[in-house]
Every structure is written in C-alpha cells, then in structure tokens.
C-alpha cells in the first residue's frame, strides 16, 4: 500500500497461486490429508516469510547486511 491507500501489484508468487495454511498440534489427521489430496493440493513444510524474502526482488537487490551483537 502506498500512503494514498492504493494497492500496488507486487506479488511474491504468481497471483493464480494460493497458500493455505493448516496448523495442527501434532500430526495432520488422516481425513484431512484425504480431503487435501482430493483437491490435488500438496503438503509442503516451508516458512512463508522466508519464501517471500527469497522471492522478493527488492530484498535480493540489497546485498548489505548489518549484524549487531
């Protein structure tokens, strides 16, 4: 968003791709894996935040990293 409130078309994934997050305390229930498989979805254990950073042109162009102890 800009300060004017209008959105910019900046995507870290193609707009036709959707991320659905499923959170469980232990293992994913079998019935849920069946439903997800029927919809031709796949499980991937990833950090969406890290993926967004890796895909971002703005982040990739910045090479300077400052680490303070």
Condensed to tens digits (0 to 9), the pLDDT of residues 5-48 reads 666 667 777 878 877 888 888 888 999 989 988 988 877 777 77
How high is the pLDDT of residue 34?
92
Q: Is residue 54 assigned to a domain?
A: yes
41 assigned to some structural domain: yes
Residue 46 lies in domain: 30-61
Confidence band of 1 (pLDDT split at 50, 70, 90): very low
User: Is 17 contained in some domain?
Assistant: no
Q: Does some domain include residue 46?
A: yes
- Structural domain count of the chain: 1
Assess if residue 13 is contained within a domain. Answer: no
Q: What is the pLDDT of residue 14?
A: 81
3-state secondary structure string across 2-60: CCCCCCCCCCCCCCCCCCCCCCCCCCCCHHHHHHHHHCCCCCCCCCHHHHHHHHCHHHH
Q: What pLDDT is recorded for position 53? A: 74
Q: Is the pLDDT of residue 69 over 70?
A: no
């Amino acid at each position: 968003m800009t300060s004017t409130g209008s959105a910019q078309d900046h995507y870290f994934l193609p707009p036709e791709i959707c991320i659905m997050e499923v959170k469980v305390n232990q293992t994913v229930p079998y019935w849920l894996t069946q439903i997800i498989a029927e919809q031709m979805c796949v499980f991937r254990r990833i950090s969406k935040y890290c993926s967004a950073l890796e895909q971002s042109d703005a982040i990739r162009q910045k090479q300077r990293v400052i680490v303070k102890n």
